[in-house]
Amino acid sequence: MAHTFDICIRGAGIVGRTLALLLARDRLRVALAAAPQAPASTADVRAYALNTASRTLLESLRSWPDSEHATAVARMEVFGDRDGAVQFDAAAQGTEALAWIVDVPALEQRLAEAVRYQPQVEVVSAPVNAPLTVVCEGRASATRAEFAVDFDVTPYSQHAIATRVVCEQPHGQVARQWFLPQGILAFLPLDGADGHTVAVVWSAEREQATTLLALEPDLFIEELHAASQGALGTLELAGERAAWPLQQAQANRWCGPMPDAGKTARSWVLAGDAAHNIHPLAGQGLNLGLADAQALARILHERDYWRSVADMRLLRSYERERKAAMLPMSLATDGLQQLFARTENPVQVLRNWGMRGFERSGLLKQWVTRQAMGTL
């Protein structure tokens, strides 16, 4: 084991590994602290929607999954609970895809392989002392609590249910989303352009989520078929069902001096879900985390030669930049969740009217699309 490191990253998930690879390009010695994990009892059914900015970043690290594990979204269709509807089209933006739906296990494997062949990164079983500690442990970060960082959490009344289904009809590279009285349902295309498999993310009220998880597979499929309005024909469950509670959250501080640093200049900083959480309805959570990694690596790369990676001026600059970038997406996702959680008839009429207006808005719709793609 190396005796000295420049940076210790706590958390070897997607954001932590991406950051380690970015820092290694600057010849920084990185300790990647990965907690031992028990073998998973079921296959991972999660999938992420990654935008153009995230793809470009991962390709630069040679960590983008093969095409069968990264399906381009050519169009997105969003339906309200009445007659409101919005469509986004990649061709109208002059681009190949609005986003790519990526298998989580495939992406994790590519990043793990890249880390394995990067001599500047050493995977360790426990955190080590370094001038800078980056916390990428996810929303339940123990280190964040250890550093006495307040995590301002607003729990939603919903749980997300994730699974995979095989559809009678091909998905046609279309991502579909329904805002319904029984929650927000998304079908995300998998297995390439001609695939019949979709990743399901269903954000349902706690009681309903508990009921859906307890249903026998055939009864769950009936509920899913009804909620998706039979858009892709008959459905067949192709994975286990996983669920987790939803929340919006943000740390009040994203950086600071190490509590036990003494006279030694050592600092910590947060990135990814350890710093912020948003509702998954826009599919932007991991994109924001990867943008954190890219911004932190850039700021450290551009530092004056005499500045340490632990310099608080650098870390506060990162915090200001990322908090400012987070704010519009956080407000938008929370606002949409709150709006579609209301069941009063006047509210239903208003929001569906708003969807129809947005569909005809021209430049506003184009700006929102580019913003989500990460090309602005």
Sign of CA dihedral 279, 282, 286, 287: negative
> How many whole angstroms separate alpha carbon 105 and alpha carbon 109?
6
Paired with 172 in beta bridges are none
Q: 210: helix, coil or strand?
A: helix
Q: 157: helix, coil or strand?
A: strand
Paired with 251 in beta bridges are 151
With a CB cutoff of 8 Å and minimum separation 6, the contacts of 100 are 49, 50, 55, 70, 71, 72, 73
Tell me the CA end-to-end span of the chain in Å, nearest whole number: 42
C-beta atoms surrounding 314 within 10 Å: 22
> How many whole angstroms separate alpha carbon 139 and alpha carbon 313?
25
In this prediction, residue 35 carries a pLDDT of: 76
In this prediction, residue 181 carries a pLDDT of: 77
Average pLDDT, integer, range 66-80: 91
In this prediction, residue 340 carries a pLDDT of: 60
Cα dihedral 24→60→16→284 (10° resolution): 150
Q: Would the pLDDT of 59 be above 50?
A: yes
What's the pLDDT band for 333 if we cut at 50, 70, 90? confident
Query: Which CATH code is given to the segment(s) 7-154+246-373?
Result: 3.50.50.60
DSSP states of 115-135 as a string? HHT-TTEEEESS----SEEEE
Answer left, alpha or beta for residue 327, where phi above 0 means left and psi between -120 and 50 means alpha: alpha
> How many whole angstroms separate alpha carbon 75 and alpha carbon 254?
36
Q: Hey, which bits of 116-271 come out as E strands?
A: 121-124, 132-135, 151-167, 174-180, 183-189, 197-205, 235-237, 242-251, 255-257, 267-270
β 183-189/121-124 pair status: unpaired
In angstroms and rounded to an integer, the radius of gyration of the C-alpha atoms of the chain is: 21
pLDDT tens digits, one per residue of 336-374 = 766 666 566 666 666 666 656 656 666 655 666 666 666
**Rounded (5°) CA angle 7-12-18:** 70
> How many whole angstroms separate alpha carbon 133 and alpha carbon 124?
14
What's the pLDDT band for 263 if we cut at 50, 70, 90? low
In this prediction, residue 80 carries a pLDDT of: 76
CB 148 within 8 A of CB 47: no
Which pair of structure tokens corresponds to residue 366?
Answer: 């184009």
Q: Is 103 exposed, middle or buried (0-12, 13-18, 19+ CB in 10 A)?
A: buried
Of residues 70, 71, 95, the one with CA closest to residue 369 = 95
pLDDT tens digits, one per residue of 264-308 = 689 999 999 999 999 887 778 899 999 999 999 999 999 999 999
